Structure 1
């Protein structure tokens, strides 16, 4: 797609050149930059555009675009935000994933940008509302419900006892005191996140001058603070259990629907009839809407014009408004840069892109246009990487089972343990997913670096028997620790690799040879390096608990019993920081952690690592997996078995 600078709003020129956030509010149908100090402050009558730029380890940038619509924003303003987001994507080179965000139904990705939460305030600009400064408002008692472990969805609910339940956490904000009511079925992670919201409310709406109280579900009037809390509701009364009908009402937009494919052609939407949703239905010179009910995708071919893309975005916005689907989200993707979830909607998706990017399509063209305006394009040219992040061409919505090899046998792991591997053990995994016209099956072995030869041989034999049991219809893979392809990580999504081993063969080997058993102990001292590309591809690797194991390009988790630290290297990105929080929920889910920024560590942190010493501070780029693979074909009774070897 070739664009002209006259098609791009001046506010978007030169953006997306560094890691971080950039926010615009729509005022009189124009994007106006929001000051950094006001990031996270949203008004119900306004629409906003949010650009998240992530600096990747290979020196390139990844862009995620969101446009947020307040519940009182006008239809015209919402349409303007959708169109301007398309313009901004064009200015960035046309590769960004775009998300439509609606107040109260924001994606987890957007909420992660604004810690601890988003709490929109009454008011607006283009909608005809007036912004009201917080310190000018008369305080109104409000009740909020908080939901979420990683990020918090905060929603105001009616100030009534009937709003409370045992499953969620509620915050009652009165003039002089803030109460946090912890439902009996809520978990410790949710309570910790809600406490951050309480502190935010105290600092933002009370200037830090009010009391805070915690009320546990089940405590009666005998407790002073519980008595005060229930007194505001007219006295204590038992809470009813949340019914299944209420759950269904909460998820009203999540009804099972038939996926519809519509083509945007010359300003109108045309329904595409199909038996199977195939990749071949999408033409590169057209835009399509894929309506999945609770969510909608807009797919734009590389051969489409900027006006076509704007028109498709307007059509999607109008369709949702006409059908009164206020909570539906829209995700916009460009040909060649589709998300994994989008690809999984199709019956078949080609394993490699069919297109080649020309200079017209790439960022170089946009950079040349910006340079002609006298702007610094060094950062934008940097964003034209020689190598892209590897893309996992595999359906990641299948079913995974994992076994640990014990001598000549295998032991099935529970779902909670199947992502926890030990470097002294061997594992067999079976992954089934929907293929072209039948269920596909992948049977693989994973060998830890310190696993013993006898159990490796046993793993190969056991895996081969599984393939034989599947009548040789399964593909067999043999993988080694440290040389796994990206598809392996996407299948497991969140992976932890511990020191030592639990198998009988490993235990016998170290006992016979007098080797010290360094197997991970949850209550002991351990250091983990955190790495990955996102929440669907992240790993925690246990390393030696000494300062020389640190590296400025990574984040780490250090624990000794109930003492937990996180260490943030100076060369890490906001994505790395998010992965640390997610891995903490697996490694130490019930304990608070203390964050250590590189260069500002406490003495206790260094003491746990045996003292401070030199460590690497050089930025490490991720080495892409190479395309060539070695296949071994085993012929048996006319059938063919094709193992895949890595390394």
Structure 2
């Protein structure tokens, strides 16, 4: 009998769900007496950790003790003792572990509890090279590139590491899915693609893009874009059609949602993407405008309320009442975004008057359109998804049809199971790799697998804030391969077949 032993797997079932509370506590003797103070509840940020102290992270299913480099010996010792007390007072099971984490050597499971995390020196060369389309032999200045990546994370779109090419090629057609108002029937309409075609939030859209990378790699991507106001039936129908098209064309499938599109999606619209809830303003429309270069400018409608504003961005407020468009400049918006907002909305609505407003100098009528002046995000620090090292998970369907997800530690290409679906978490994008031997049911439930994973993992991401990318075995793009320590394109062709293994076993038995 031949027994195949895989690397150790860590079940996600032991992880807290997305709804559980993670609490951070500081252990310090700076006052002369040891104190344990509550710092914050989820969402947590890396900046909350102080190198001069120790911290206890209670995840709801386990305890981490983070030790700062400048912490005193007493703090280090007492932090572990306090963690032991947590186990007793909170009545954790006897097998619950306390993980000691040293500053600068944080593990991936620890870092995922923080909504914002940046490793020192930006060690994420995979993300950098993919985002900037750099070859593996290209050199770069870490500090300079760090600033570029931060800019891309804020304004360039989500999933900046997913850049199969520069989006330079053209698209022929786009298919819109909407539901009839009277009976909810899903209608499907295919039209010629135009870069300035607005995407309406009550619908879903499917398009195919043929990419061509600098290294000569070519392939196709089927994008399915789902509007924020689209019905469940519209979303399901569009995704099912997109999945069938991707399988038929042996293409990548990328599922994205309004306001959370990957940067590559913006690039294929050549900087003209506008996503709105409705075709024309009924009362007021508020758009956030972001971009880093002309080819990734994008405008996305957000609720017309003052709480939607953010000091780090530029906005356009379209008023149906006054037939005026206000261009609002947040204090942290770049000059490029300010100019892009004015140019993008100069001809948005007939002969509407354009008025430019700086944050802090808003007229009363501006606030009247947004339900009055209220609280909004005044932070100039980006709260985008953490830049974590990619993690690989094995996905299986139980007999009841539910998805089971288990982590593969210290993974490499050999851990990709050709008979199943594998999930690769890259932060803003989640890859579902479908092996050639995966069943039709497994292939049809890749979105359910992603939902199951997102529900269990502890970050604040939701299924609507990440891009889901389906990759078929043998059609892996370079951006996927880069997340493995090494990649051999001929690996699966070089593996022995079932008949070869059977023959080897028979030969071995005959020798006994």
Which TM-score band applies after superposition, normalised by the shorter structure? 0.3 to 0.5
Question: TM-score if structure 1 supplies the norm length?
Answer: 0.35
Question: TM-score if structure 2 supplies the norm length?
Answer: 0.44
Please identify the structure whose Cα radius of gyration is greater.
Answer: 1
